């Protein structure tokens, strides 16, 4: 296969990718990534010696980056632009026209679009679009993992798919940092990728836990900024509190949430709820929050 390569989860490939595509000698020294978001995009960029450029996600823009705000010099220096939809932490999804525009810009300016789609199968109403739906995937790389879809975090199984030239470059680089997943992991992965019934059950379970918190938010007047996909809820912090102070207040009552500011400056004013605990634990958390909020 020339358009796909197995990886040790997606984190290994995400961290290493900047080392494959950044070209300091020829001026391709910038890695852009959306913020708030997964911190490994920035860490991988800095490890590769690149300039890290956060692109803030604003609720008024549907939590999509403002591509018109990027100047010509930055486009010319851009090596890779990271996007992730469905998005962690905002839960937003991206329309196909967004990927189409990114692909056109990548061809025009000679950078790579890296699409982290770890949550692409965790949705509640409509399945999200994917960069893999594009007919022309030149300068495109899509990252995925079994960690979210199949809850197989310990197996460390994922893949990168896209432009054959990028896959070949990643394949040439990988022996310096790792190997392919072990044979037993690959065998389990083949089964897991084909197990759609498990994914449907997972979506249903997250959906029930999501409903518990959405009902709580409606009762308590907590504004929901994002909830359409992923295993998270992106909620607005009550007026008068910072993200960190609010999270610390909840922690005093045994409730752990992620302050939006911990996921990037653009996350201030929000907090992230992870629907990871059991249904029973989520119900207990909701009962506690009834008294706290």
pLDDT in tens, 273-282: 999 999 999 9
Q: What pLDDT, on a 0 to 100 scale, did the predictor assign at position 177?
A: 81
Output the pLDDT for position 179.
76
Binning pLDDT at 50, 70 and 90, where does residue 178 land? confident
Q: Where is pLDDT greater, at 116 or 183?
A: 116
pLDDT at 280: 98
Q: What's the confidence (pLDDT) of residue 118? A: 97
Residue 195 has pLDDT above 90, yes or no: yes
pLDDT by residue (tens digit) across 8-62? 989 999 999 999 999 999 999 999 999 999 999 999 999 999 999 999 999 999 9
What dotted CATH number matches 4-193? Answer: 3.40.640.10
- Which tens digits make up the pLDDT trace of 75-103? 999 999 999 999 999 999 999 999 999 99
pLDDT at 1 over 70: no
Structure tokens at 15: 């961290």
In this predicted structure, the answer to whether residue 168 has a pLDDT above a threshold of 90 is yes
- Interval 226-242 mean pLDDT: 97
For residue 209, name the pLDDT band (cuts at 50, 70, 90): very high
What pLDDT is attached to residue 103?
97
CATH number, domain 197-292: 3.90.1150.10
Mean pLDDT of 203-222: 98
Domain ranges of the chain: 4-193, 197-292
The whole-number average pLDDT for the span 162-172 is 95
**174: confidence class by pLDDT, cuts 50, 70, 90:** confident
């Amino acid at each position: 296969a020339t358009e796909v390569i197995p990886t040790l989860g997606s984190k290994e490939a995400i961290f290493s990718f900047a080392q494959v595509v950044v070209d300091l000698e020829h001026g391709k020294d910038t890695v852009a990534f959306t913020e708030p978001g997964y911190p490994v995009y920035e860490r991988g960029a800095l490890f590769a010696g690149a300039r890290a450029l956060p692109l803030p996600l604003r609720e008024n823009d549907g939590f999509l980056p403002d591509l018109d705000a990027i100047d010509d010099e930055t486009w010319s220096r851009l090596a890779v632009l990271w996007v992730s939809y469905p998005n962690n932490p905002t839960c937003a999804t991206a329309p196909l026209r967004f990927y189409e525009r990114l692909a056109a810009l990548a061809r025009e300016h000679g950078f790579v679009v890296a699409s982290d789609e770890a949550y692409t199968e965790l949705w509640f109403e409509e399945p999200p679009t994917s960069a893999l739906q594009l007919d022309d995937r030149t300068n495109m790389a899509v990252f995925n993992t079994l960690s979210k879809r199949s809850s197989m975090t310990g197996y460390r199984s994922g893949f990168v798919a896209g432009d054959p030239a990028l896959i070949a470059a990643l394949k040439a680089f990988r022996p310096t940092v790792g190997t392919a997943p072990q044979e037993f992991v690959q065998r389990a992965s083949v089964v897991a990728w084909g197990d759609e019934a498990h994914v449907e059950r997972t979506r249903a379970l997250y959906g029930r836990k999501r409903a518990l918190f959405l009902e709580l938010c409606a009762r308590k007047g907590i504004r929901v900024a994002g909830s359409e996909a992923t295993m998270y809820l992106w909620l607005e912090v009550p007026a008068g509190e910072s993200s960190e102070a609010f999270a610390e207040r909840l922690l005093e009552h045994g409730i752990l949430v992620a302050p939006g500011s911990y996921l990037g400056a653009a996350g201030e004013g929000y907090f992230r709820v992870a629907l990871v605990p059991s249904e029973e634990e989520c119900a207990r958390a909701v009962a506690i929050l009834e008294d706290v909020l």
